[in-house]
Amino acid sequence: MTTQDTRKFPRHPTDIPIEVQELSLSPSHCHQLKDISFGGLAFVSSIHLEKDTIVGVRILTEPVYEMIGKVRWCRKNQENQEYFDVGIAFMGKSDATREQMVETVQQIEDYLDRFSHLLTDVIVDVNGEMVREV
């Protein structure tokens, strides 16, 4: 049985920027969201996070969503071994908030996919790095 077969909630692919901060450390780090579901999210990180580490997550949408989560897994990124793929399970937010957050991310991705041929700009993350050329 694959990991995909055992998931409680379907994953929605995305590349929206997020901020993640270990609650025991003060600086936050910006990352690229890979996918999101009702139960958690996955992102690409330049730093290794230990399993079961509690983190604060800010999803940089409008509105901004702030969540607390627990690192469920962290492994080397297949495409670039200098990075890590990290999986976070959400903790403590209401079902309605989680649902609204996932819907917001989906709407942004749908909009970008639907109208990207009309846009001539580049989407950048909070550090000014290109996320997607449109």
> Which amino acid, residue 108?
I
Residue 33: domain span = 3-125
Q: Quick check: is 68 in a domain?
A: yes
Residue 92 near residue 82, CB atoms below 8 Å: no
State how far the Cα of 132 lies from the Cα of 134, in Å rounded to an integer.
Answer: 6
Residues forming beta bridges with residue 122, ordered by sequence position: 133
Instruction: Tell me: cis bond preceding 63? Omega within 30 of 0 counts.
Output: yes
Q: Is residue 116 part of a domain?
A: yes
List the single range of 4-13, 29-38, 63-72 with lowest mean pLDDT.
4-13
- Number of separate domains in the chain: 1
pLDDT at 1: 40
Q: Across 46-121, where does the E strand assignment appear?
A: 54-59, 65-76, 84-91
44 lies in a domain? yes
Q: Residue 133: inside a domain, yes or no? A: no
- Residue 79 is assigned to a structural domain of this protein: yes
In a domain, 131, yes or no: no
What pLDDT sits at residue 96?
A: 77
Token pair 């990075």 is found at 83
22 within some domain: yes
Q: What is the pTM of this model?
A: 0.67
Distance of CA 7 to the CA centre of its chain: 17
Where does the pLDDT of residue 123 fall: very low under 50, low under 70, confident under 90, or very high at 90 and above?
low
Lowest average pLDDT, out of 17-21, 96-100, 117-121, goes to 117-121
Query: Is 97 domain-assigned?
Result: yes
Q: Write the CATH number for 62.
A: 2.40.10.220
Three-class DSSP labels, 75-86: EECCCCCCCEEE
Q: What is the pLDDT of residues 38-96, one digit of tens each?
A: 888 999 999 899 999 999 988 888 888 888 999 999 999 999 999 999 999 998 777 77
